[in-house]
Structure 1
Amino acid sequence: MNFKRNALLGAITLCWAAASVQTASAADASVERAPSTGWAGQNGGTTGGAAAASTAIYKINSASQLLAAVKAQGDKPKIIKLYGTVDMAASDNGGAFTSAADESQRIQIKLGSNTTLIGVGSDTKLVNANLVLNGVQNVIIRNLNIVNPCSISPVWDPNDGSAGNWNSEYDGITVLNSKNVWIDHNSFTDAPKTDDKLPTQNGKLKQCHDGALDVKNGSDYITISNNRFELHEKNNLIGSSDSKTTDEGHLTVTFNNNHFLNVAERAPRVRFGKVHIYNNYFEGSRSHPVYRHQYSIGVAYKAKIISQNNAFDIVGASKCADIMTNPGSSSKTGAATDSGSLLNGAALTAGGACSFSTSVGWTVPYSATLLNASAVKQSVLNNAGTGKLTVN
């Protein structure tokens, strides 16, 4: 079968690449560790593949090479450098997905522990792909342009909401039962297949996108920093369901210095987690023709959110409830505090709190020097997204 032959050729090329690449220099962003200014700096810190031997540093530009690199070395440290466009539905990985079963077999890239996956330059793109971290530790993902996957087979659920909904399965990145993960300087978007290009069926948009980046199943020590999220509906889910009570005491996540541009909701939506959200810039409109802003921070069941010095420029938003809300059952809410954040230039909490309990029950265990919210927009626009790192 041509697919197997191409995969073998990719693995051979991969081995040659590993042998020819020298050990990464200190100036190379691929050997940087997660900073101490987020949850990923706790629990011994997050180094990814920084300790990789020279034979475990790969520079690749195809799906088959990527799959071979992911499997190589087991859980020994490895650095995988991508360049160009890596498409999981390209000919070297079997071509276009033909069915839901075929898609489920080939769309996922399952990273192992002690891995750094990083793009070279500003134009590395990952397409038709769901990066999955499941039961792993010490992983870094940086400098990738991730096109949020559009499933070929959305599923109609007549019991989802009052009139049913279309649901899809695959995120850009899914973090499950994993620890010490740093996701930094990436860009996520639905484009070019934005929601206005999707059909309507059963009276509802046939939604092919799921999350951009979700963290679930008891994951801990996660930092999500300096990313650009744009043109997406349900962006970041922290905690999968109200019934997954084993998430209590877990889901320790930091969001800092990210840019959320025309993200409709879930930026993030939190259940159970101890989530620190600081110095992020949110930009959107409550009348956007495709990605209408509904809320930014979802304070869902037993959430424990500390929000600090964020800047919200949301056309049509006028009060804290437009930004922070409980998107689930009113009987299953969480706690949240905010200090120093601005909504369209005015204090987010002007006129009182955001109607949530402020008894979050924890304090931030690391030090972070916070920018004033008035300086956040320019800082984030200058630094978030791809093309800001040096990768040799």
Structure 2
Amino acid sequence: MAAITAQGDNPKIIKLYGTIDPTSADNGGPYTSTTDQAARLQIRLGSNTTLIGMGGDTKLVNANIVINGKQNVIVRNINIVNPCDIVPVWDPNDGSAGNWNSEYDGVTILASKNVWIDHNVFTDAPKTDDQLPIENGKIKECHDGALDVKNGSDYVTVSNNRFELHEKNNLIGSSDSKTSDDGHLTVTFNNNHFLNVAERAPRVRFGKVHIYNNYFEGSRSHPIYPHQYSIGVAYKAKIISQNNAFDIAGATSCSNIMTNPGSSSKTGAVTDAGSLLNGGALTAGGACSFSSAVGWTLPYSAPLLDASAVKAAVLGNAGTGKITVR
């Protein structure tokens, strides 16, 4: 934290070793209140910053990396344990029966440009949702997102990560009412492993999002994180999907993979080419009944693998401990 503060927006590489935990005994111990958690949990990175783990065992727990209004930021090779809000809030008007809502993601990207999130692991473990209490008939959910991109951020690449054991994984665009996001939220997801992620991998509003060569692995009957959908085609989403591999036990059609999780009157557009669902063609366009009028073309040429080769390539490369750091 001293290195981050001292260098501000100057170019810097910050190397992490071992486990970093804001709630360690020498830093005040467990959070005592919402005010205390907000003050100690957030790690706010400056522009021109690389934050990198120096070994496959580098771990960040009980913390939220925040990139807000910054440019040229890299986060690599860190095992990120998604933080747990100590005081979730019950909202009786959220959904048909109410829901618990919590704050704090593993990584939050706001109003920023040129951000690279690469070769990390995001997980709820060891505090998975089956260990949380039931109140008001619902799990008292303390986890928010794993990695969210909001407030007009652009040119964000999310590559070679493993996202595992999480409910609401990646939110691109915060709400239907934030129309200033339209034309922004340009994000690429490539070569990631989504393992037992229930939903939002990602959920997109407004964004121009390219999703290619990712491997999705899960089950609609998983005991803790049953698969609901992978790609959320929400309000004015503009998604180009290519050569992804979905191995989801119990999923039978594209509608199990791509859905509009919001209002039926506020949907988006998606194209897919070359993706597989349990070894067969996903055929997203017709089978999912979304518009294919995404309104943009890729500004780069991606090195696409055939979807049949994605599983082996991703399992061999995604996550921590797979890159050489010095």
* 2:272 and 2:284 in contact (8 A); partners too: no
Residue number in structure 2 paired with 1:298: 232
Higher strand share: 2
Question: Which one of 314, 319, 324 corresponds to residue 380 of structure 1?
Answer: 314
Query: What is the number of equivalent residue pairs in this alignment?
Result: 326
The answer to whether residue 146 in structure 2 is matched with residue 206 in structure 1 is no
Aligned to 1:109: 43
Match in the other structure for 1:43: none
Structure 2 counterpart of 1:79: 13
Name the CA distance, whole Å, in 2 between partners of 1:350 and 1:95: 49
Q: Is the 2:253–2:287 Cα contact (8 Å) retained in structure 1?
A: no
**For the aligned residues, what is the CA RMSD?**
0.9
1:24-43 mapped onto 2 (5 Å cutoff):
none
State the Cα deviation string for residues 31-52 of structure 1 (Å, max 9, x = none).
xxxxxxxxxxxxxxxxxxxxxx
> Aligned with 2:7: secondary structure?
coil
More helix by share: 1
Matches within 5 A, 1:228-377: 228-349=162-283, 352-377=286-311
Secondary structure of 1:327's aligned partner = coil
What's the secondary structure of 2:3's corresponding residue?
A: helix
Secondary structure class of the residue paired with 1:352: helix
CA distance in 2: counterparts of 1:350 and 1:116, whole angstroms: 37
| Cα distance in structure 1, aligned partners of 2:165 and 2:287 | 29
Q: Tell me how far apart the structure 1 counterparts of residues 122 and 198 of structure 2 sit (CA, whole Å).
A: 14
TM-score with structure 2 setting the length: 0.99
What are the Cα deviations for residues 291-340 of structure 1, in whole angstroms up to 9, with x where unaligned?
00000000000000000000000000000000000000000000000000
* Range moving further from structure 2, 352-361 or 255-264: 352-361
Change (3 A) 1:121 1:245: same
Tell me the percent identity.
82
Identify the residue that residue 96 of structure 1 maps to in structure 2: 30
Show CA shifts across 1:267-298 (max 9, x none).
00000000000000000000001000000000
> For the residues of structure 1 that align with 2:49 and 2:265, how far apart are their CA atoms?
41
Give the C-alpha shift of residue 367 in structure 1.
1.1
In the alignment, the residues of structure 2 paired with residue 350 and residue 172 of structure 1 have an alpha-carbon distance, to the nearest angstrom, of: 30
Q: What is the alpha-carbon distance in structure 2 between the residues aligned to residue 189 and residue 167 of structure 1?
A: 18
1:186 alignment partner AA: N
2:142 matches 1:223: no
Matches within 5 A, 1:184-195: 184-195=118-129
Give the gaps of 5 or more residues in structure 1.
1-66
Q: 1:390 deviation in Å?
A: 1.3
Structure 1 stretches of 4+ with a deviation exceeding 4 A read none
Give 2:141's aligned amino acid.
Answer: Q
SS in 2 for 1:356: coil
Query: C-alpha displacement at 1:162, in angstroms?
Result: 1.1
Deviations 1:154-203 (A, max 9, x none): 11111111111101100000000000000000000000000000000011
State the Cα distance separating 1:352 from its structure 2 match: 3.2
Q: Distance in 2 between matches of 1:177 and 1:156?
A: 28
Superimposed CA distance per residue, residues 11-32 of structure 1 (whole angstroms, 9 cap, x where no aligned partner): xxxxxxxxxxxxxxxxxxxxxx
Q: Aligned to 2:246, what secondary structure does the other structure show?
A: strand
Per the TM alignment, residue 351 of structure 1 is displaced from its structure 2 partner at its CA by 9.4
> Partners in 2 of 1:386 and 1:108 — Cα distance?
22
TM-score, structure 1 length as denominator? 0.82
Which ranges of structure 2 fall in alignment gaps of 5 or more residues?
none
Kindly state the Cα deviation for residue 73 of structure 1 after the two structures are TM-superposed.
1.6
